[in-house]
């Protein structure tokens, strides 16, 4: 099974379970077009977008950035994390970028795709996920996958989720039962 198929299966199985209030509220906030006032910097958003597109690249389906995942991450981290958790996440993003600079000689967003893949592989292959930048990377990856599969474009076009299955037909014929009273008149 390819990674994209695995992610699609995971998303289909969990999108509705994960959709409740928080994801809907975050996506509504993203749709408003207003960035959180104390949100991620432009450089941090670019880093999140570059990592997101390494995890979920554009294929026959949209990439993570195509559906707005970096803005979703920004809203979730800024508006739902406490001060200490928010600061730790931002420091973790800086640590991810610093590790990329040490290994590849440039910021993550400036690395060639192969070097980006190597940087991600180095983080994912670490045995201790509790130390930085691994901890932040795994939290970020969870937010990316969650955001991707709860986004409206993915739910409609990739997962084909129908909130109200079927179609509305305002002119559908009424079924009448013998002896049923409708509008005050008995019908047979």
Per-residue pLDDT reduced to its tens digit, 91-110: 999 999 999 999 889 999 99
Q: Does residue 178 lie within any of the structural domains? A: no
User: Among candidates 116, 29, 136, 109, which has minimal Cα distance to 74?
Assistant: 29
Higher per-residue confidence, 129 vs 177: 129
Quick count: other Cβ atoms within 10 Å of Cβ 71?
A: 24
Q: What's the number of CA atoms in the CB half-sphere (13 Å) around residue 181? A: 2
Give domain status of residue 168, yes or no: no
For the segment 152-173, the average pLDDT, to the nearest whole number, is 72
Residue 158's pLDDT band, with cuts at 50, 70 and 90, is confident
- Split into its structural domains, the chain has a count of 1
Range of the domain at 30: 3-163
The CA dihedral of 114, 115, 117, 120, to the nearest 10 degrees, is: 180
Higher pLDDT, 132 or 8: 132
State percent of the chain over pLDDT 90: 51
**pLDDT on residue 185:** 56
**pLDDT given for residue 142 in this prediction:** 93
Mean pLDDT over residues 112-141, rounded? 91
Strand 185-187 relative to strand 180-182, pairing: antiparallel
Beta bridge partners of 181: 186
Average model confidence (pLDDT) across the chain = 82
128 is a domain residue = yes
Q: Rounded to whole angstroms, how far apart are CA atoms 87 and 5?
A: 34
Asked, for residue 119, whether it belongs to a domain, the answer is: yes
Q: Where are the beta strands (DSSP E) in 104-146?
A: none
Q: Cis ω on the peptide bond leading into residue 51 (within 30° of 0)?
A: no
What confidence category does residue 27 fall into, taking pLDDT thresholds of 50, 70 and 90?
confident
pLDDT in tens, 54-81: 999 999 999 999 999 999 999 999 988 9
d(CA 144, CA 56): 8
The average pLDDT across 130-156 equals: 90
User: For the residues 138-160, what does the mean pLDDT come to?
Assistant: 88
Q: Is residue 171 part of a domain?
A: no
159 versus 119: which is more confidently predicted? Answer: 119
Model pLDDT, residue 19: 45
Query: What pLDDT is stored for residue 69 in this prediction?
Result: 96
Phi/psi of residue 113, nearest 5 degrees: -55, -40
Reduced to 3 states, what is the DSSP secondary structure of residue 185? strand
pLDDT at 184: 52
Burial label for 169, CB within 10 Å (0-12, 13-18, 19+), is: exposed
């Amino acid at each position: 099974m390819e990674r994209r198929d695995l992610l699609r299966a995971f998303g289909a199985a969990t999108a509705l379970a994960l959709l409740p209030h928080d994801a809907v509220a975050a996506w509504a906030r993203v749709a408003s077009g207003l960035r959180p006032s104390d949100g991620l910097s432009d450089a941090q958003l670019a880093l999140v977008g570059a990592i997101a597109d390494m995890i979920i690249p554009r294929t026959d389906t949209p990439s993570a950035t195509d559906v707005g995942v970096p803005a979703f991450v920004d809203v979730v981290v800024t508006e739902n994390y406490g001060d200490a958790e928010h600061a730790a996440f931002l420091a973790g993003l800086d640590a991810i970028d610093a590790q990329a600079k040490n290994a590849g000689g440039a910021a993550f967003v400036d690395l060639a795709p192969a070097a980006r893949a190597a940087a991600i592989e180095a983080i994912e292959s670490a045995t201790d996920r509790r130390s930085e930048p691994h901890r932040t990377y795994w939290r970020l990856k969870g937010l990316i996958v969650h955001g991707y599969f709860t986004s409206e474009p993915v739910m409609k076009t990739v997962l084909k989720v129908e909130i109200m299955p079927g179609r509305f037909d305002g002119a559908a014929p009424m079924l009448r039962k013998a002896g049923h009273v409708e509008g005050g008149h008995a019908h047979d």
